[in-house]
Chain A
Amino acid sequence: MIRAALPTAALLVGLAGCVASPPLADGLPLRMPRALELRDTPFFPQKDYQCGPAALATVLGASGVQVQPDALAPQVFLPKRRGSLQAELIGAARRQGRLAYQLPGNGQALLAELAEGRPVLLLQNLGVKQIPRWHYAVLIGYDADRNVAVLRSGRHERQEMRWQRFARSWDRAGRWAMTTIAPGVIPAQAESARYLEATAGIESAGNREAAALSYDAAIARWPDEPMAWLGRGNVSYADGDRAAAADAYSRAASLAPGNAAARNNLAQVLAAAGCMAEARRQLERALTLATGTALASTIETTRAGIEAEGQSSAMQCAFPDRQWPD
């Protein structure tokens, strides 16, 4: 344990500072091979200013989506900034049906993704702090004995960069890195919060099928994670499946009794299913919980909607004998 922890700590410390970046070998976890290269990763030489679309097409290709940089450029390129923003690379990945999983800012996270066969799209600052030169590249491997990072970068199909130089360029760019993953796949090292943010993103982008697969996978991996159930409920509700949505919201509210969003959404689906008394009760809980927060006005809107509905509807409750979270 300690033997494994020490090199890891060294790697983390090394990437933290510009001054004392250690060679890769000093920080390579023992379970990792000495050298690794994802040679099958496609390569798209970039055109001027188009490293964003090229790097995105590279990782998308590795995750099974065949797309040319020219097709991605209209989705990410900002002409007058002569480049592409991180947020838009994330958005474009979603439009291609892939989750954009943003990695924690440590070298070990990059290596772990490579070990699972996923190349990593990352931002580098090839200039200096005051005069940045932002560049997207794709990390496809490393060699600890030769102390290099291996990249698909710009017009270079295979670029070797001394590890410390690579680590510093990444550090100067805020250590931003992401991988694109197929719905339903969860990285072995994934943190639930990061994975669920990625899933909520593809849900926002309107890809309910991908979101459903990903929430199901998240629930299987983290059954006690309320946001996975809330998300699953939202997809079911959007699909018109009230029974499944009510079940999922109910689980979310049981796991996180203080979560106003789960109560609000449960109230909404209960009202839609004609269970007015229980809907009002859940909504009261939501309102109390959300007092003074950003959700208060949304929940008021829900209440107005439910009351307007309640006066006109004489519908029987679709779930008459069920227990709901207190």
Chain B
Amino acid sequence: MRIERFRRSCVALLSVSLISVGLQTPAAAGIVGTADAIAVVQQQNDLAVVRDALARADVREQMVTLGVDPAEVDGRLGALTAPELARLAGNIKEAPAGGDSALAILGIVFIVLLVLELTGTIDIFKKT
């Protein structure tokens, strides 16, 4: 939780200092991209402020750390808007990752719940 907050602060601080770099992709020079314009209208200022270049570099690094083939990363990032990248930069390690391993996680959940049930902490297996 603290690391998460620290990470968010870093992203926010760096983004403010890098704001003068300006948005280069995907909109042309001198043009405010539609996604950014919408973010500003919706007053997601903190997101719009996080400039593309920073968020892109941050997420790229984290994705490679999380095992994505470096050759695939740019294509994946290219499909996202600047506000989406900024959000991802802040939560890529915590955001829900739908994966549902057929048995492994289910087994763990079941055992944990069973232990909690037997120790009387919860009673979800009883019909109410």
Which A residues are closer than 8 A to B by beta carbons? 46, 48-52, 55, 74-88, 90-92, 94-95, 123, 125-128, 131-136, 154-155, 173-174, 193, 196-197, 199-201, 203-206, 227, 230-231, 234, 237-238, 259-262, 264-265, 268, 271, 293-295, 297-298, 301-302, 305-306
CB distance from A126 to the nearest CB of B (A): 7
Interface check B9, CB cutoff 8 A: no
> Could you list 13 further interchain pairs (A-B, Cβ under 8 angstroms) beyond the known A136-B98, A204-B26?
A49-B101, A74-B72, A80-B65, A81-B93, A83-B98, A85-B95, A91-B79, A127-B105, A134-B97, A134-B98, A199-B34, A259-B41, A271-B30
B81 touches A134 (CB 8 A): no
**Residues of chain B within 8 A of A87, CB atoms compared:** 80, 84, 87-88, 95
Which B residues are closer than 8 A to A by beta carbons? 19-20, 22-23, 26-38, 40-42, 45, 48-49, 63, 65-69, 72, 75-76, 78-82, 84, 87-88, 92-93, 95-102, 105-106, 108-109, 112-113, 124
CB distance from A239 to the nearest CB of B (A): 11
**Residues of chain A within 8 A of B49, CB atoms compared:** 294
**Residues of chain A within 8 A of B38, CB atoms compared:** 193, 196-197, 200, 227
**Residues of chain A within 8 A of B106, CB atoms compared:** 126, 133
A135 and B78 contact, Cβ closer than 8 Å, known pairs A261-B37, A264-B32: no
B99 touches A82 (CB 8 A): yes
Distance of A201 Cα from B105 Cα, bound (Å): 33
Query: Which of A80, A82, A259 is the one whose CB lies under 8 Å from B37?
Result: A259
B31 touches A205 (CB 8 A): no
A268 touches B35 (CB 8 A): no
Query: Which of B19, B80, B105 is the one whose CB lies under 8 Å from A297?
Result: B19
**Residues of chain B within 8 A of A197, CB atoms compared:** 35, 38
Q: Which residue in chain B gives the minimum CB-CB distance to A267?
A: B30
A134 and B27 contact, Cβ closer than 8 Å, known pairs A87-B87, A261-B37, A297-B20: no
CB distance from B111 to the nearest CB of A (A): 11
**Residues of chain A within 8 A of B113, CB atoms compared:** 128, 131
B68 touches A79 (CB 8 A): yes
A295 touches B40 (CB 8 A): yes
A295 and B96 contact, Cβ closer than 8 Å, known pairs A75-B75, A201-B84, A301-B22: no
11 A-B pairs whose Cβ atoms sit less than 8 Å apart in the complex: A75-B75, A75-B76, A78-B68, A78-B92, A90-B84, A128-B113, A134-B98, A201-B81, A203-B34, A264-B30, A298-B36
**Residues of chain B within 8 A of A297, CB atoms compared:** 19-20, 22
A295 touches B66 (CB 8 A): no
Distance of A238 Cα from B88 Cα, bound (Å): 27
Name, among A78, A193, A203, A264, the residue most crowded by chain B CB atoms within 10 Å (CB to CB). A78
**Residues of chain A within 8 A of B31, CB atoms compared:** 234, 237, 264-265, 268
Q: Which residue in chain B gives the minimum CB-CB distance to A297?
A: B19
Distance of A57 Cα from B62 Cα, bound (Å): 26
Q: Which residue in chain A gives the minimum CB-CB distance to B23?
A: A298
